[in-house]
Amino acid sequence: MANDGVAPIIIKRKKVSGGDGHHGGAWKVAYADFVTAMMAFFMLMWLLNATTEKQRKGLADYFSPTIPINRASGGGNGAFGGDSIFTEQTLAQVGTGASQRYPGIDGAFRDSPPSDDAEAQLQEAESLLMGRGGESMVSENAMRHVITRVTDEGLIVELFDTPDQSLFKAGTNEPTPVLEELIAMIGRVFSVATNDIAVTGHSRSHAVVLADNPVWTLSVERAEFTRVMLSETGLDMRRFERVTGYADRALAVENPMSTRNNRLEITLLRGDQPPDI
């Protein structure tokens, strides 16, 4: 058998090895993830150090998935107008992701009842007025006339004339369209709170040679008419604590005859206001 002329078959197995030194490319992916995470961490540290509290709140609101762009609906215009049918009842407005249990402004609904905390209510009202976390409820032109500030007295919403546009027709207590738009917005926002309300009217100075200076009459009449307009938005009449006219005795700018001194201050009062003496 050994001499039949057939060569024996020899099988040679070759062991191939490689990459032992670097364990393949998986380490590169892990390292890239680590570098990305470190970059994000240092960016976060820089933002915390370089921004104000309000700016940080704005950044947080931007990345929050729970803040709607439109508080009244989901924004669609189809068969259900952007609403959702997944509610306890039917077709609730879902602008704030809630159901029909706790109605709020613009037909939107809440997940919970309005807060009993006075400071929280003031902050919420100010955020809604300025459109933080979503679209403003009034036009950009109207918002030029608005300044808000939270004081020891409460949330003060100041509405004022601009050189090119007034809140009232000259020399009267007849509102212009821009004031009507602002009052409608304020009425909706103030409905989220239960605080009392104060309305104050201010007027610019007029020439001292006038026989009948109208500053007192105008400031009082404009404040009173503002109260009437607010009550027509649905606010409870019992919430109005006072209506005051200051004439030109508390100027907003140094020039007493500047139109900037024509203004209204609508205050959402804190719940612990001291009694008037």
Q: Provide the H-helix boundaries in 51-145.
A: 53-63, 118-130, 140-143
- Cβ 222 vs Cβ 230: under 8 Å: no
Residue 178, pLDDT score: 94
Residue 252 has pLDDT above 50, yes or no: yes
Q: 233, 217, 116: which is closest to 266 by C-alpha?
A: 233
Q: How far apart are CA 193 and CA 269, in angstroms?
A: 10
Residues 53-62: tens digit of each pLDDT? 777 777 777 7
Element containing residue 28 per DSSP (H, E) = helix 26-50
Element containing residue 158 per DSSP (H, E) = strand 154-160
Q: Which domains does the chain have, with CATH numbers?
A: 68-113 (no CATH), 117-277 (3.30.1330.60)
Element containing residue 134 per DSSP (H, E) = none
- Cβ 261 vs Cβ 252: under 8 Å: yes
Across the strands, what pairs with 268? 155, 197
Question: For a pLDDT cut of 70, what percent of the chain falls above it?
Answer: 66
Its pTM stands at 0.56
Residues 46-97: tens digit of each pLDDT? 878 887 877 777 777 776 654 444 444 444 444 444 444 444 343 334 444 4
